[in-house]
Structure 1
């Protein structure tokens, strides 16, 4: 695996955004239903927030109100990199696209409104090209 990159201009030039196929939703669980299907999770005061495939949430009867597409920035970003989230979310915000960011150890993942995935991808490619 490539070494993690922290230099913002290099990160932006090598974002290499890739769409992960599917429809994704955020749900709140009591720690039971959905946990085994979770793609990501966060413990919050209100309960356990899970990111699930929409089909899994539907099959489990879990409520959600936001259907997202998933874009992964395939550049290996360092966890201590400064400015990547701000640059990406700022560029998307300028285009009126909401963005929920999940940082993994190697990559940043963007959950954007499903109907705006292509628009978000175009913004990210443009940002990468400078």
Structure 2
């Protein structure tokens, strides 16, 4: 099943969903510690970046300095679609919200400051409504 490429369709069909919990970014050298179930992992020269639930990071003694809410854009976006990330980032940036985007095979996932996650969902819902 191929994903959507039409930007207007991508934006109007985002249907952002807030996933429960608090998520943190951390870095390890030897793989995920026992008791963690990473949502995302990225291999970098400096180590393995993990996005995990805050309580898992705390239990494992992992350092972090950014606590995020996780929003899934439920539109099935094609990996070669153009403009969705830019439009979403611009909308959130206008409100002073940082946004860390991870592309999955089916969906895009946004990590935004936890204390402003409700505002981020509202902004994305409004962007979707304007894009119909």
For the criterion TM > 0.5, the same-fold answer is yes
Is the deviation greater in 82-91 or in 38-47?
A: 38-47
TM-score normalised by length of structure 2: 0.93
Equivalent residue runs for 1:24-35 within 5 Å: 24-34=23-33
Superposed CA RMSD in Å reads 1.3
Q: Distance in 2 between matches of 1:33 and 1:109?
A: 20
Q: Distance in 1 between matches of 2:18 and 2:31?
A: 29
The count of residues paired between Structure 1 and Structure 2 equals 129
Deviations 1:37-81 (A, max 9, x none): 211100111110000000000000000000000000000000010
In the TM superposition, residue 4 of structure 1 has moved relative to its aligned partner by: 1.2
Name the residue aligned to 1:102.
102
- Name stretches of at least 5 consecutive residues in structure 1 with no aligned partner: none
- Name stretches of at least 5 consecutive residues in structure 2 with no aligned partner: none
2:127 counterpart SS class: helix
- Do the aligned residues in 1 keep the contact of 2:67 with 2:114 (CA within 8 Å)? yes
Aligned structure 1 segments of 4 or more residues deviating by more than 4 angstroms:
none
- Do the aligned residues in 1 keep the contact of 2:73 with 2:109 (CA within 8 Å)? yes
Name the residue aligned to 2:52.
52
